[in-house]
Amino acid sequence: MASYNAISSEKLVRLIGTPKAPILIDVRDEDDFSAAPFLLPAAIRKSHTEIRQWAGDYRGHQAVVICQKGLKLSEGVAAFLRSEGAQAEVLEGGFETWQKAGLPLVPVSRLPGQCNRGGTLWVTRSRPKIDRIACPWLIRRFVDPKAVFLFVAPSEVEAVAHRFDATPFDVEGVFWSHRGELCSFDVMIEEFALAFPALQHLARIVRGADTDRPDLEPQAAGLLAISLGLSRMYADDLEQLEAGMLLYDALYRWARDASQEKHDWVSHGARK
């Protein structure tokens, strides 16, 4: 019988990638994790043996706890979190059920190291337009919610990456950048194994806007126009990123739930 404080894989996968997604906490033991070194999208790793040290960090937050089978480890950790004021559930069937369902899993080998603020650290060129907003959105929604982004002078990206141990992206000659006809957003979706159909659709729109291929998707020209407008509205790159998060949240939900919906103006006035 499923726990009262549990969530199904089917329901959770609908929440991932949205602003209201719960915090996902993977507490599998080392043997289970070593046998399958993957994480649910946007999940973080925590040790159940140190629960007393970190449970309070999630007071007031919604969380889903993941262990191998959704039994003792996740039940115990979720109970600890609730005792500290979090709204915590367990994933029904745990990692094993999610994996058997063929749902997306991020390979840990692709994740950069964390910075001292607890998230991954990335660096790219200043004055972002499309890829350099789309990629941070993707990372924060599907890979690492605590990711930190540095926008620096183009000539200094490599040096900053080296000096501050940051991961460079969307610049020439680095791993996380354009490959052939693919833009950096495409590459991240592929490397992080984010096989969400809506992301694949969104990727074509981003690619069309970012590589001057408006023929790829009808929405590409609109994304380009809005992105250029945002770049004129904000002098601060981080402020522009925050505004862009809402833009890509909306585009993702459209691609997932509303791409077939049509809208036409119909007068609701009195008919004669």
Q: What is the pLDDT of residues 117-140, one digit of tens each?
A: 568 999 999 999 999 999 999 999
Give the residue from 194, 74, 92, 184 showing the smallest Cα distance to 141. Answer: 194
What is the per-residue pLDDT for 116?
A: 55
Q: Which is more confidently placed, 80 or 113?
A: 80
What's the mean pLDDT in 57-78? 97
Residue 264 is predicted with a pLDDT of 85
At 270 the pLDDT is 58
Give dist(CA 239, CA 227) in Å, integer. Answer: 13
CATH number for domain 6-107, candidates 3.90.1150.10, 3.40.50.300, 3.40.250.10, 3.30.750.24 = 3.40.250.10
Residue at 159: amino acid letter: A
Q: Contact, 123 vs 167, CB < 8 A?
A: yes
Of the chain, the percentage scoring pLDDT greater than 90 comes to 91
Which has the minimum average pLDDT: 30-39, 40-49, 105-114, 225-234? 105-114
What is the average pLDDT across 208-227?
97
What pLDDT, on a 0 to 100 scale, did the predictor assign at position 113? 78
Q: What's the pTM value of the predicted model, to 2 decimals?
A: 0.94
DSSP notation for 68-120: SSSSHHHHHHHHHHHHTT-EEEEETTHHHHHHHTT---EEGGGPPPB-TTSSB
Residue 252 contacts residue 17 (beta carbons within 8 Å): yes
Whether 255 shows a pLDDT value over 80: the answer reads: yes
Confidence of residue 263 (pLDDT cuts 50, 70, 90): confident
Burial bucket for residue 110 (CB in 10 Å: 0-12, 13-18, 19+): middle
DSSP 129: -
pLDDT at 215: 95
pLDDT in tens, 11-60: 999 999 999 999 999 999 999 999 999 999 999 999 999 999 999 999 99
pLDDT mean over 104-110: 96
Give the sign of the dihedral formed by CA 9, CA 190, CA 68, CA 57. Answer: negative
Instruction: Provide the residue ranges of all domains of the chain, joining segments of one domain with +.
Output: 6-107, 111-258
pLDDT over 60 (residue 260): yes
pLDDT score for 266: 76
> How confident is the model over 146-195, as pLDDT tens digits?
999 999 999 999 999 999 999 999 999 999 999 999 999 999 999 999 99
**What is the reported pLDDT for 117?**
58
CA distance 105 to 148: 22
